[in-house]
Structures are given as C-alpha cells and as structure tokens.
Structure 1
Amino acid sequence: MRTRAGSRRWSAVFGAAVLVAAAGAALSAPAAAGGEEPQGRVEFPTYCLPPQEAGLPPADGPTTARLTVDDPAPKVGDTVTVTYQVTGTPAVNPIGTELPADVLTPTGRILLGGAQSGEVTVVGAKRNDPVQPGAGLPAVTMTGTFTVTSPGEITLAPGSYTLHTSHLLDLDTTCSATGTPVSARLTATPLPRANLRSVSLGAAYGKPGAEVRITGVGFAPGSAVTVAGRAGAAETTDRVAATADERGAVLAELPVTDRATTAVVAYEGRAWSAQQGSGPAAYTVVDAAPLPQGTQKVTAVVEQGALSMTQAGEAIALAAVPYGEGGAASGRIGAVTVKDARGGPAGWTLIGKVTDFTGPGGGPPGSGREPVRIPGASLSWTPSCTAADGSPSRCTAGSAGPVGPEGAVLASVADAALVGGTFTVDATVTLRVPPYTPPGAYTAVLTLTLS
C-alpha cells in the first residue's frame, strides 16, 4: 500500500479478493427479516391475469397491501430491508381442484421515488394454507433489500406481483398495478464528511506584536475567513480577516500581541465551529522581559501531523466452496491502521467499494465466451474498529451488510472539539456463491477511501 505525507484523502486498491470455487452465475442480495416499524395500509386497483392453462377470465379488483422498512432513518451506503405484504388480492386459485398447502411462491417489485429512483425485487417463502377451487388466493409476504445511494426522503410504493403455484403444473398469476400510492417513507442522511480545513504557521513562537504568516487550506472558495488567536477553548484579542481564493486557500499576516495566545485557528462564519473551523496550530508568545541572570526560557512545540492509513497485506483469499452446492466463501481483510495526528476537530470516514467478481471464460462480446461474473453486491462484511490506548477519539464500525459497487462504511470517527489517535480497523467478509457456478478462480478489487 502507498501513503502520501500530508495527504488528507487516501484512495488506493485495497486488495484483490480471490475465490477458488466450484459453484454458478449471478447472486442477488440475500433477503433479511421484515421491518418492524408499522406503516400505512394502502389499496390500489389491479388487473390479475390468470395462466392461460387455467381457462379463467382476468380478475379486476383492489389489492390491499402494506410496506415496511427495517430502518426508517438510514445513512447513504446502508442496506435497507423492505417487506411487501399483500393482505388482499382479486387473484383466485388457478386450478379446478384444491390447491394444497405450501405450493404458492410470491414475487413482486417495489417502486422507489423521491431522492432515489429504481425498483426493489421482493420474494416470499413457499408458505400457504390450502385453497379451495375458485377461492381467492391467500395473503402473502415478500422481502427484499436495496442500498441507499442518495440522501433525502425516499418513498416506497407497491408494484406488480406474481403468484406462482407449483401443483400439477407450474402456473403464474400476474397482477399488474399502475399509479399505486406511497405506502412507506424513509429519510436518508448523507455520509459524514470530513472537515479538511487546516492552518499552518510561518513561526511557532515570537515576541509580543510579532506578525505570524498564516497559510490555510480546505476552506470554501471565495469565503470570508477569520484568523484568530486561541487560549484553550476561548479566543484572544488577536484577529484578522482574510478571503479564501478559488482553491480554498487562505494567506494572512496575524499580529500576535495578546500574551494569552497559545494557538491560532481560522474559520468561516461568525464563530468557530467543528464543522467550519480549522484545528488549532500551536503558537507561543515569548515574554520580552529580561530573565534573571543564570536562567533560560525553554520552549517546546507540538507540530500537527497528517491523516494516514496503512494495511497489512494486499490480497484477500476466500475459502473454496464445492461445485453444485455453492454457499458462503468466507475470509478476512488485512487489518487497516488509521493514524490521525492532525490535532483538530475533523473526524474521518473509511469507505469501501468492490467490483464484480470475474471468473472463467473470456472473449469478444457475442463469442459465447464472456467471463462468468458474481455481482459485487454478493460480498458482505462485518466491520470492527478499535482505538489504541490513549487515543482521544473512539471509532465506530460500519454496519454489517453488502459492500457492492455503491460502497459501504467500514469505520468512522465523528467531528469533535479535538480528534485524533490510532485505530485498528478489521472486517470479516463473506461471498455468497450460487450453486453450479463454473469452477475456477473469481477475482474482484476492493477499494478503500479515507477522507
């Protein structure tokens, strides 16, 4: 792995996860348990088309349904589980005899709107009571997952659904719906963004009245910036105004006359805050008064460092799975060490993204020899994060769940008055491999970004 001194954003190839497997094609994200938050019941018109073999006419009528989500306030990158309950349908038993128990499999789709568009595929278990000839099909429950990609309010509305029966014949009753009402809402918050404002000083100490050259970076381009002296959490009388250039850089000369000044900060707005201000850069006012004969003044300076990371190893080898059976190929990422020596208020976020897994095959499009792929969303992880003894901050591990090309949070530290420390970040990973995936090695690239 490579790091760059002073860099406040680190991005590199984290590792190629290699799987030697004997198992099959693409895998969809696993369904999780249904949501527990009650949502509103909705009713909408549907047109149910029975299978041609049944010889039945189409059924027009209302469907009653309810959608629930397991997390009404997720963060961008989180995986949300959605449950679609059809409690009433105009669809009827498509065969002329009793439909036995546990032969009905429902599938459907949920429509996303608002801050995020798209569809969520939901699937239900083969579970039903017996249905008499000509009677309506029973209530069904389907679940699915999606990854939050945009902040803001996301609406969910029930879509069409299919009721598949597997008795005597495999038959599909398809119920289409248009203009369905919103049945659930969630509000997604953006990923935490690091405050990258910082200042450096031309001198770490000086006599009262000395002008100190201030260099700042990371500010909003063109913003008004205040450069001020600090004594602990309070500002001193030393202050000068500056303007950030088109790159967000600030240059200023600050006369330091207040003997109480022990640091210099810069900030946007009317007052310093952890979101719009730099961390303190240490400064010492050297008393100009002569010292008694035989004495000396001793000055020590604590310098700011950088936000950096290193990783143990560059490859992840997952366990093999047997051909025909598929299953979970498990492993562990190389431990990541994050060191934050900036000494300011800005936290950090470590995000991972993974490409699709590419396996045997290969050739020009249409040749029939395209590589076999397993979607990156089939890789999930369970992160952990530990702060070293003496670190002023505590880190938070990301949520367990799929990684995928959209990415997921591996670990983070929130903004605070003073942030810093050394942190060890780890995660177990699991790739869900479908049965009868062609034998061979499957590789993907997992990229980590620290900001």
Structure 2
Amino acid sequence: MNARARKQWIAGGALSAMLLGTIAMASSAAADVNQDEDVQIQVSVTPVGALTLTVANPSVTLNESTSDDIWAAGNREFTGTLDGVSVSDDRNDVGADAAWNVSGQVSNFVAAGLPEIDSANLGWVPELTNPIPGDFNVTPGQPIAGELQEVPDTEGPGGDWLTGGVQVGDLLVSSGSSAEANGQTFGVKAGLNLTVPKSTPSGAYASTLTLTLMES
C-alpha cells in the first residue's frame, strides 16, 4: 500500500470512529429525559333559563253589570276579567334570598273629545289560577276597590280590601322566595271593576294597564 492510500485509510477509520461515538452519546441522553408540563383546562358554566312574564290576552273588554243598588247610588258599573297572565321561572341559578313580584299601573280612560275617566275608578281582585293558591310561597295581590265601588264585606283571595283604585306598584302576584317558586309556572287572573257616575258621557273609552315583573 502506498503512503497516499495508507493516509486515506487512516482518515476514513478516524471518521468512522467519530460517527459511532456521536450515536452512542445521543442514545444515552434520550434515556435520561424525564419532564412534566401542566396544561390548564378552563370552562365557563353560564346561567341558563329566565324569569319571564307572559300576557296571552293583550285586550280586555268591560261590560256593564249595573245593579239596582249601584244605579240608585248614582253610578254605573262595568266589569271584566284580566286573564292569560303567567310567570315562569326555569333558571338553573336562583338566589336563596331573592323574591319576585308583578305590579300594575293604570292610565286614565280616554275617549276622543270627552273628559277622561280617572284611573282611580278601576279596581281589581287578583287570583292565582295555577298552581293551587298558596303553593310554593306565591300569593295573589290584595283586592282593591275603585273610588266609587262599594267595598264587599268578604275578603278577596289575596286578603283584606284596599281602596282608592289600582295605583302604581299595587301587586297582582308575588313570590316570597324565588328558590321555592323555581321551576314552576304560575297563572294569575284578576276581576276588573270600573264604577263611574251615571252622568259620564257616552263614548268608547280606552286605558292601558302596564304589568311589571321585578325580582328583588
């Protein structure tokens, strides 16, 4: 073997030794790895459901129901029924100390070109229709007599009579505890009474009853 060939063989052998050494070191380092990494998992559980007020019948017609006694007293009486009102609660998260109520507010009765009839002449008698009154700590509001209405001797479903007509904030229905009433639907109705003087001019009168649901 000439000197040039011998030098190439030695160089090649040295290169082979270096490659083998590198492979052995890499294999040893991989076997010693032991590493942990944490991954945070997050989720937002948002409230679902709602406390809602529904009015199925947006119009009520009052019809005359004047008795001889009312006529003799110098008045005329018109009655009707507010129905189709319900409160539903299907929320998944209800505060233990929360309560809700539905209150009413009535505008004056107006007819084109005629004097207004004061809203204080309108009275109502609230009553639960579903579930049975008193269940789930839900009760109807107190009965209210209009300014000219004769106050009945007996209590209404909601207790003793108030006078002066339906005023701002008078209760139609209320729940003493949102937690107890949760998951239920409560129907409510109210007998309406409008008593006016016999001298009231003839006409087609209209008023707006605004119902407000609030949670406290």
Q: TM-score range by the shorter chain?
A: 0.5 to 0.7
Counterpart in 2 of 1:388?
131
Q: 2:78, 2:171 → 1: CA distance?
A: 21
Q: 1:317, 1:359 → 2: CA distance?
A: 15
**Number of residue-to-residue matches in the alignment:** 145
Instruction: Give the root-mean-square deviation of aligned CA atoms.
Output: 2.7
The equivalences for 1:84-163 within 5 A come to: none
Counterpart in 2 of 1:119?
none
Gaps (5+ residues) in structure 1?
Answer: 1-208, 216-280, 282-303, 362-370
Note if 1:356 corresponds to 2:108. yes
Counterpart in 2 of 1:211?
42
Q: Is the CA contact (8 Å cut-off) linking 1:311 and 1:337 kept in structure 2? A: yes
CA 1:332/1:360 → structure 2, altered by over 3 Å: closer, same or farther?
A: same
Q: Is the CA contact (8 Å cut-off) linking 1:355 and 1:404 kept in structure 2? A: no
Counterpart in 2 of 1:414?
176
Render the CA deviation track for 1:302-344: whole Å, top value 9, x for unaligned: xx31111222221111013679953221110132021111141
CA shift, 1:439, in A, is: 1.0
Q: 1:416, 1:321 → 2: CA distance?
A: 39
Q: 2:179, 2:169 → 1: CA distance?
A: 29
Moved over 6 A (4+): 321-324
CA 1:337/1:417 → structure 2, altered by over 3 Å: closer, same or farther?
A: closer
Q: 1:321, 1:387 → 2: CA distance?
A: 27
Render the CA deviation track for 1:341-393: whole Å, top value 9, x for unaligned: 114133211011000111352xxxxxxxxx3111101100000124438xx83
Work out which of the residue numbers 318, 338, 348 in structure 1 matches 2:87: 338
Note if 1:311 corresponds to 2:31. no
Note if 1:427 corresponds to 2:179. no
CA shift, 1:425, in A, is: 0.7
CA 1:438/1:360 → structure 2, altered by over 3 Å: closer, same or farther?
A: farther
Secondary structure at the counterpart of residue 377 of structure 1: helix
CA 1:437/1:307 → structure 2, altered by over 3 Å: closer, same or farther?
A: same
Q: Is the CA contact (8 Å cut-off) linking 1:386 and 1:395 kept in structure 2? A: no
TM-score for both structures, normalised by structure 1: 0.29
Q: 2:56, 2:130 → 1: CA distance?
A: 17
Counterpart in 1 of 2:210?
447
CA shift, 1:449, in A, is: 0.6
Q: 1:424, 1:416 → 2: CA distance?
A: 16
Higher relative contact order (CA 8 A, sep 6+): 2
Largest Rg, 1 or 2: 2
Secondary structure at the counterpart of residue 409 of structure 1: strand
Q: Is the CA contact (8 Å cut-off) linking 1:333 and 1:428 kept in structure 2? A: yes
Gaps (5+ residues) in structure 2?
Answer: 1-39, 146-164
Note if 1:379 corresponds to 2:131. no
Q: Is the CA contact (8 Å cut-off) linking 2:78 and 2:193 kept in structure 1? A: yes
Q: Is the CA contact (8 Å cut-off) linking 2:100 and 2:178 kept in structure 1? A: no
Q: 1:426, 1:445 → 2: CA distance?
A: 16
Q: Give % identity.
A: 33
Q: 2:65, 2:206 → 1: CA distance?
A: 14
